[in-house]
Structure 1
């Protein structure tokens, strides 16, 4: 039996309910999901790789049994990370038409680089279409409550990151 593996990449800074929605939808389609955290030199994420990976592992543990999960880092092309991990597909979430236009261009480029790897678009659930990591970070930075946008572990990690930023 062939194991169907998908790679879902992003910064996950922080993991949001939108990201989790994509992971849950993907779990219904694939035997294994590799959650690949992009680590790009020159970018300063709010949360460390280890913190982001721990949050993802913690939150995905409750999905155990639906499919297998692995959390990895990557710093190059997503198609190369997908190849390296034996993925047949790259998962991408879509919130709106702007996402669609951008993601279609990316899928075209990735399809040229790695025609054996398909891009699978998963639409955001209606109640999550407005959620973005950028907005979650902005709200957290201004002292707002982000518990409606991210799992508890991510909310707590953001609170610590804001306190650390405020103390420096």
Structure 2
């Protein structure tokens, strides 16, 4: 039996990033959703990707494709931005580098790396440096070349990331 290599995906799920990173990390503020939308649209045009900018409407449980030509989008009160791009590489280091390159091209300060469609690692840019935090038990993650966010940067009493870091 041939082992299938893991599938990786660069992901910006705005509400998840804002909710988890802004509340957990000292002094971190996610780029505004409107600004991020503009930057992603520009990135997809310049990079000539087939990746889609979607807006997820939780109440309807549907993804709505963002029409960049007619600028149609669902109301912001009922939806949030979701952008994904598949990543492949010969090693995890290559995947990590590609994700950071996409993030820099877009100009975002946070994203999630998915592995086999499951959240693996959250990346955030703070003080002009990229850091990461686990979204799975730390012991199950590959070695990262980006620096782990220091414990001192995590809000006191925060349990979301510290639970993963302790495993």
Same fold, TM-score > 0.5, yes or no: no
Decide which structure has greater helix share.
1
TM-score (norm 2): 0.29
Larger relative contact order, structure 1 or 2 (CA cutoff 8 Å, min sep 6): 1
- TM-score normalised by length of structure 1: 0.29
